[in-house]
Amino acid sequence: MTVPVSTPSLPAPPRATWRFMLRNPLRLLALGFGSGLSPIAPGTAGTLFAWASFLILSHWLGPTAWGVLIAVGAVVGIWACGSTSRALGLDDASPVVWDEIIAFWLVLWLVMPAGWAEQLAAFLLFRAFDAGKWLAVGWADRHVKGGFGIMLDDLIAAAFALLVLALGIRLYALV
């Protein structure tokens, strides 16, 4: 008769909460200043935060400053998103939305000035590619891990959204 060996249970990884987020500035960034704590569609909430914050910050930031902020934010985001996801015990935790914020800032930086209809189209296209994980977005999500992978799939989604927007504008000009 064999006696089952009891293994000590590992503590459950922490949940993304306001307390968890406020304990570490990297978590504050990775969780999109709280937008990733949304109980419904945190990626969409993070993208909406990106849109609103872009419109507000654009009163003080010009194109060059935006470029620097996006580049630095992407590099720091690799560290922040990877660290926070590991702390949550996941490869790419859904409350981690800094990747959506940086990627959508990039989209807006490249399409502005744009009217509300174009901004909405950019938002919907970016969310479709990001959430749908189509084409190279899905490949990057499945094969590239860590903080770099977390940032990469959203930047690819941004590139696809920009490509579709550019093709749409081009086709519209031909009509």
Task: Specify whether the CB–CB gap between 77 and 29 falls below 8 A.
Answer: yes
Contact 142, 123 (CB under 8 A): no
Predicted confidence (pLDDT) per residue in 84-140, tens digit: 999 999 999 999 999 999 999 999 999 999 999 999 999 999 999 999 999 999 999
pLDDT of residue 44: 98
What DSSP character marks residue 133? T
CA within 13 Å, CB half, 54 = 27
Q: What is the pLDDT of residue 13?
A: 81
What pLDDT does 173 receive? Answer: 63
- The pLDDT tens digits for 150-164 are 999 999 999 999 999
pLDDT attached to residue 29: 98
Angle (nearest 5°) at CA 111 between 109 and 116: 110
User: 63 preceded by cis ω (within 30°)?
Assistant: no
Q: 107 by DSSP, 3-state: which?
A: helix
pLDDT > 70: what percent of the chain?
A: 91
Structure tokens belonging to residue 126: 């970016």
Which pair of tokens denotes residue 27? 């978590």
Compute the half-sphere exposure of residue 48: CA atoms within 13 Å on the CB side of its CA: 10
Residue 89 burial (CB count, 10 A): 13
Mean pLDDT, all residues of the chain? 93
Rounded Cα distance between 70 and 79, Å, is: 14
